[in-house]
Structure 1
Amino acid sequence: MMEVDPNGNIVREHRDPLAHHDQHHLDNGELLYTTVEGLEPAKGACVLGGIPETEAPDGKVYADCIKHVSPSGELLWSWKAIDHLDPKKFKLQPHYPREHWPLINSVYPLADGNILASLRSVSAVVIISRQTGEIIWHLDSTVVAQQHCASELEDGSILVFDNGTFRHHESATYSRVIQVSRENKSIVWEYRDPHPMTFFTPFMGGAQRLRGGNTLITEAAFGRIFEVTEKGEMVFEYVNPDFADYSGLDAKEIEGYFGYPANALFRAYKYAPEQIPWLHPN
């Protein structure tokens, strides 16, 4: 994980071989990110659900942690899923391997100091108390399904890319973006395609609320980025034209993930010109 200047020079760097999925570089140089720890057999057995006998190759269940470190790498705060999640309430869905629980794919610092996290393999978005580590808000699998990219909006509501894999009580798969009230968990805004099944990514995905109210959406598996208005009208669309695979990168563990050339994008962001003046100095 690193911060670089406009010339590509590394300003600061933090290494964690078990870090995965998401990180936030705070304005003061501190870093909030997701990582994992291997559980001892007794604790691993407490993790419920998933496909039987699909632990990691070393026989362990790896459980998520969140770490907050200083610019020099000093640990300032940490949170462990195994210490604060009820395994009965946060069971792995039956279609997922037991090697990774609950698979935090986004972590976000809230304005009130607490932590927002998306837990993919249990289909949950939660708010973690920074003070106690306990779960103080829980959006469950009756609303979201294998979701990604949970973030806080200016009014305190939560924006989520809801992938839609294994959605409750629906056989047709489709993705959507939802804005959820923290007060009562109602959906106050939603985007889905007029032909819902034509907008779908089974993994990854992103949503960014822009200045002026539009939303930038990443349909990750198909390399598609598009922007919609509050009324759902599309005003911008881009499809990544570059296809590649993971061969030749000395990463055998992921070479077979895409057994074909793909144009997938994990997440995209849009920046106003004044946010990146160094890109077009003239």
Structure 2
Amino acid sequence: MAIHGIPTGVHRYDKELCCDGYNLFSPYFRNETHLINMEGEIVHTWKTNYFPGLFAHLMPNGDLVRGIRVPDQAVLFAGTTGGFERYDWDGNLLQRYIKNDHETQQVLSHAFCPMPNGNTIVICLEKKSNEEAYARGRIPGTLPEEGEWFEGKQHKGLFLDYLMEIDKDNNVVWEWHLWDHVGDAPDEFNLNYILPPAAHYFSTVDWVHFNAVDYDPIHDRVCMTCRNFGEFVIVDRKTGKLIYRWGNPSTHLRGRKPGWLDDGDQQLFGPHCGTFINEGKHILIHDNGWFRPKGNRSRALEVDIETGKIVWSYESHNPQNFTSPYQSSVQRLPNGNTLICSTGSGQIFEVTPGPQPRVVWEFVCPWLQDGRTVNYLDDTDVLYSTTSHIIKEGHMKNMIHRVYRYAKDYPAFQGKDLSHGVPIDPSIVRLWEMEPFKSGYERAKKNPWPQPIAYRENPDVK
């Protein structure tokens, strides 16, 4: 089956089964961050001077914490952005933090996490020379002497992730460096776990590639999603020790590596958005399925970190209906549903829990890279870069990196009138109310998907 065109806007909307609220996201190539209602109408917008880097959080007090992509970044690969900002509800700038040092090539990456105390944890990159990497145990000759060229800029050395906690006055109050935790032990990062050369700079200068960080205030822990390693790790913030990892035991000399059409013992392939749920007992994560030997397909997973078992998962019957090799997000909603953002197709959808989940809300982003707003996404609207092999397959021009749903009783909305939604574009039709979408959805409701698509390892786990 091939699909060469698809309407934008809301496709499905089951008012009875949805988690009613507002959806926050930043179109990838726009300076605005929008809050849209369930009908796909804009109810609030924050306008900024920067493209998103790459998403935003709405705080309970109504502040918006938004990543920004600064110009002339010191490092151009790994999704670096350079900074974040904080705005109040009315769009007044409260804070701007920029880390973009060309001399040291330290730069803020694209992931951050607001904390309950008002601080923000950010992921950054720092460079170590080839000689420094070899001295710490990297096999000599495995790093190119000339480095890697990306978007016309040369990058030499090995770039490692580190975390900083930034307070509202832009002071660094806590740091954690990957470089301090390299080695062969299970609680360390093996410098010689290296992706195949076909992964291009992921196999050389961009080694582990943290793409998400989340904070657990109950146990004072942070979860980092390691894209290239195919796992998530949990670090105790007080001691700095890696206390848990899941997804790919071969990274720390345990388990079988993938082979030809064999996933080995690896569970996650290019994952994103590892998030604490269930009071820190579980991790919800987007498994992109990037170069999975058994076939590229994405899925959402819920992992019990006490048992290491997958207690819930979701994937589509047709892998092409839900697959994004890069980026993307997941969020567990207050009613137990899961909100999924599939970046490659600019698609957001909500699925119900249980062994036979249903898609109860679905939205396709209408904002394109060239500034247009369209009511129909064509196959020719593919995003292609002649200088970056990373964004030339599997992405459309309507990309969204991450989305968050906030229920209508969220504290930020107290005293706010959000009843007057404005259509994104008058040409975008209300498809969920029209044929054949309406009858097709009703048909799908009567024919739930079979058991293998989603399951619970332990039905008693909620």
TM bucket (normalised to shorter chain) is: 0.7 to 0.9
SS at match of 1:221: helix
2:345 corresponds in structure 1 to 222
**TM-score normalised per structure 1:** 0.88
CA distance in structure 2 between the aligned counterparts of 1:88 and 1:216, rounded to whole angstroms = 34
- Post-superposition offset of 1:124: 1.5
- Partners of 2:205 and 2:130 in 1: CA distance: 12
Partner of 2:219: 112
Would the aligned equivalents of 1:48 and 1:91 in 2 still touch at CA under 8 Å? no
**Structure 1 residue 74 displacement after superposition:** 1.9
Match of 2:397 in 1: 262
1:195–1:49 Cα change, 3 Å? farther
CA distance in 2 between counterparts of 1:242 and 1:104 reads 27
CA contact (8 A) 2:87 2:95 kept: yes
Rounded Cα–Cα distance in structure 2 between residues aligned with 1:125 and 1:50: 28
User: Quick check: 1:129 aligned with 2:221?
Assistant: no
Corresponding residue for residue 103 of structure 1: 209
Larger RCO (CA under 8 A, 6+ residues apart): 2
Unaligned segments of structure 2, at least 5 residues: 1-83, 101-106, 149-153, 184-188, 249-265, 372-384, 420-462
Q: How does 1:181-220 map to 2 (within 5 A)?
A: 181-220=304-343
Conserved in 2, the CA contact under 8 Å of 1:127 and 1:135?
yes
- Tell me how far apart the structure 2 counterparts of residues 96 and 42 of structure 1 sit (CA, whole Å): 21
User: What one-letter code is carried by the residue in structure 2 that aligns with 1:99?
Assistant: V
Moved over 6 A (4+): 48-51
Return the letter of the residue paired with 1:177. A
The amino acid of 1:174's aligned partner reads R
Q: Give the partner amino acid of 1:55.
A: G
Q: Which runs of 5+ in 1 are unaligned?
A: 247-253
Alpha-carbon distance in 2 for matches of 1:122, 1:59: 21
Q: 1:90 to 1:76 in 2, by over 3 A?
A: farther
Corresponding position of 2:447: none
1:32 to 121, 135, 140: 121
Deviation at 1:203, TM superposition (A): 0.1
Alpha-carbon offset, residue 60 of structure 1: 1.7
Following TM superposition, by how much is the alpha carbon of 1:90 offset from its aligned partner in structure 2, in angstroms?
7.0
CA spacing shift, 1:143–1:114, aligned 2, 3 Å: same
5 Å-filtered alignment, 1:1-282, equals 1-17=84-100, 18-45=107-134, 46-47=137-138, 53=144, 55-56=147-148, 57-86=154-183, 87-88=189-190, 91-94=193-196, 95-97=199-201, 98-110=204-216, 111-141=218-248, 142-155=266-279, 156-167=281-292, 170-231=293-354, 232-244=357-369, 256-257=387-388, 258=391, 262-275=397-410, 276-277=412-413, 280=417
With structure 2 as the length reference, what TM-score do the two structures score?
A: 0.55
Task: Kindly indicate whether the alpha-carbon contact (under 8 Å) linking 1:49 and 1:92 is maintained by their aligned counterparts in 2.
Answer: no
8 A contact 2:143–2:157 mirrored in 1: no
Per the alignment, do residues 59 and 6 of structure 1 end up closer, same or farther by CA in structure 2, a change over 3 Å counting? same
* Bigger Cα Rg: 2
Contact 2:108 2:123 in 1 (8 A): yes
- Measured on the aligned residues, the alpha-carbon RMSD in Å equals 2.5
Please report how far the alpha carbon of residue 165 of structure 1 lies from its aligned counterpart in structure 2 after TM superposition. Answer: 1.0
- Structure 2: distance between partners of 1:210 and 1:42: 47
Q: 1:22 to 1:206 in 2, by over 3 A?
A: same
Q: Deviations over 1:71-116 (max 9, x none)?
A: 2122211111111133437723222412222111001111300110
- Shift of the 5–255 alpha-carbon distance from structure 1 to 2, 3 Å rule, reads farther
Structure 1: distance between partners of 2:370 and 2:386: 7
Partner of 1:151, secondary structure, is strand
Deviation at 1:281, TM superposition (A): 5.3
Determine helix, strand or coil for the equivalent of 1:183: coil
Q: Residue 249 of structure 1 corresponds to which residue in structure 2?
A: none
Deviation, structure 1 residue 48 = 6.3
Tell me how far apart the structure 2 counterparts of residues 48 and 151 of structure 1 sit (CA, whole Å). 33
Are 1:47 and 1:91, in contact at CA under 8 Å, matched by a contact in 2? no
1:251 aligned partner:
none
Residues matched between the structures, number: 273
Contact 1:148–1:161 at 8 Å: present in 2 too?
yes
Contact kept in structure 2, 1:96 and 1:121, CA below 8 Å = no
* Displacement of 1:8: 0.8
